[in-house]
Amino acid sequence: MNLELQRMIYMTVALVIGYLLDLMFGDPRWLYHPVRLIGHLISGMERIIRSCLPKSKTGERTGGVILVIVVVSVSTALPALVLHIAYQKFWQIGLIIESFWCYQILATKSLKVESDRVYTALKTEGLEAGRKAVSMIVGRDTQNLTEEGVTKAAVETVAENTSDGIIAPLCYMLVGGAVLGFAYKAVNTMDSMVGYKNDTYLYFGRCAAKLDDLANLIPARITGLVMIVASYFLNLDAKRAWKTFWRDRYHHLSPNSAMTESVTAGALNIQLGGDHFYFGKLVHKETIGDDIRPVCPEDIVTTNNLLYMTAVLSLLLFSLIYLVNSLILK
């Protein structure tokens, strides 16, 4: 067996184990997550870079580029070094470490758990509890959201993160194992921390935001297409999901977010998107989907079912790709 094929086998086994662990356990609050370390690195580097460069448009853009280079390099090099040493000494230890990291990089169950909290809060504790629960998973202002607004926020977050939190990491880990998975999480975490179009990060966060758009370009489109198939298996409106995807897939400030949100809106026969407040400022957004029926809290549950079916189908698809590729290499 050649080394390239052997490495592919290790990566795939680690990915499958990690995926199953994620479905079973999610992200326990007591377990320190490596993304928090990436977050600390981003915050620390931001302070250092801002203190060294001028507060001008050019200075902030340059600082943003430096931030991206440092964070991605460190987040990739350290796991690569650890896995290289582990596999060199005992391949079993390397496989255990990589499986655990693959598990931590994925976010299937945690996304469902957090959005379920929004559903439970709305159904059992009322609107104010729902606003508080949804504020934990969205970036928009939530204090004045209606029940429909809270539900839409949760549905949109699950739809978008089906790509960002699950399918995109799966894509990258299929190619480069946990190492490339961490590279992707570094980019994605930077975008979530500094990729805002406000006075503070308009220039400093531009490089991170653009790189995140690029990193999600292919995964978001794969996710949208797989979600259409998943909606068919769940007896949702797959025909309208395809129609809405094709029509509204660019109805978003991000070039990728509407790929999955449009499918979700079509499959559920609801309308998503529209204007929202961020940090007290109104941001105008196009609507996604058709206002066929009112949005209700149960749509959160349906979207989570769509999330799980999409994740399962994607893993099967990627495993098939691996099988074909391994046969070619063999």
Q: What are phi and psi of 253, to 5 degrees?
A: -65, -30
Range of the domain at 231: 3-329
Kindly state the DSSP code that residue 254 receives in the 8-state scheme: S
Q: What's the whole-model pTM score? A: 0.91
The tokens describing 70, both together, are 């440092």
| pLDDT tops 90 at residue 318 | no
DSSP string across 104-132: HH--HHHHHHHHHHHHHHHHHT-HHHHHH
Q: Which residue did the predictor score with more confidence, 7 or 11?
A: 11
Beta bridge partners of 44: none
58 pLDDT band (50/70/90 cuts)? very high
329 pLDDT band (50/70/90 cuts)? low
DSSP string across 51-63: HHS-SSHHHHHHH
Looking at residue 71, what is its pLDDT?
A: 97
| pLDDT tops 90 at residue 31 | no
Tally the residues of the chain: 330
pLDDT digits (tens, 9 = 90+) for 283-302: 888 899 999 999 999 999 99
CA–chain centroid gap for 255, Å, is: 14
Q: Using CA atoms, how far apart are residues 152 and 115, in angstroms rounded to an integer?
A: 11
pLDDT digits (tens, 9 = 90+) for 182-239: 999 999 999 989 988 888 899 999 999 999 999 999 999 999 999 999 999 999 999 9
What is the Cβ-side half-sphere exposure of residue 280, based on CA atoms within 13 angstroms? Answer: 1
Q: Using CA atoms, how far apart are residues 63 and 205, in angstroms rounded to an integer?
A: 9
Beta bridge partners of 69: none
Amino acid of residue 278: Y
Amino acid of residue 191: D
Query: Quick one: CA dihedral 24, 175, 230, 246, positive or negative?
Result: positive
Angle between helices 34-52 and 91-105 (to 10 degrees): 70
pLDDT digits (tens, 9 = 90+) for 64-114: 999 999 999 999 999 999 999 999 989 899 999 999 999 999 999 999 999
Question: Beta-carbon neighbour count of residue 30 at 10 Å?
Answer: 5
Q: How far is CA 322 from CA 61, 96, 313, in A?
A: 39, 20, 14
Asked whether 185 and 35 are in contact (CB, 8 A), the reply is yes
315 pLDDT band (50/70/90 cuts)? confident
Kindly state the DSSP code that residue 279 receives in the 8-state scheme: T
Structural element, H or E, at residue 277: strand 276-278
CA–chain centroid gap for 113, Å, is: 15
Looking at residue 69, what is its pLDDT?
A: 97
Q: Using CA atoms, how far apart are residues 90 and 99, in angstroms rounded to an integer?
A: 14
Q: Using CA atoms, how far apart are residues 174 and 163, in angstroms rounded to an integer?
A: 15
Asked whether 177 and 165 are in contact (CB, 8 A), the reply is no
pLDDT digits (tens, 9 = 90+) for 100-120: 999 999 999 999 999 999 999
Looking at residue 34, what is its pLDDT?
A: 87
| Count of structural domains within the chain | 1
pLDDT digits (tens, 9 = 90+) for 121-159: 999 999 999 999 999 988 888 888 899 999 999 999 999
Amino acid of residue 115: S
Burial bucket for residue 111 (CB in 10 Å: 0-12, 13-18, 19+): buried
pLDDT digits (tens, 9 = 90+) for 255-270: 898 999 999 999 999 9
| pLDDT tops 80 at residue 174 | yes
Asked whether 152 and 33 are in contact (CB, 8 A), the reply is no
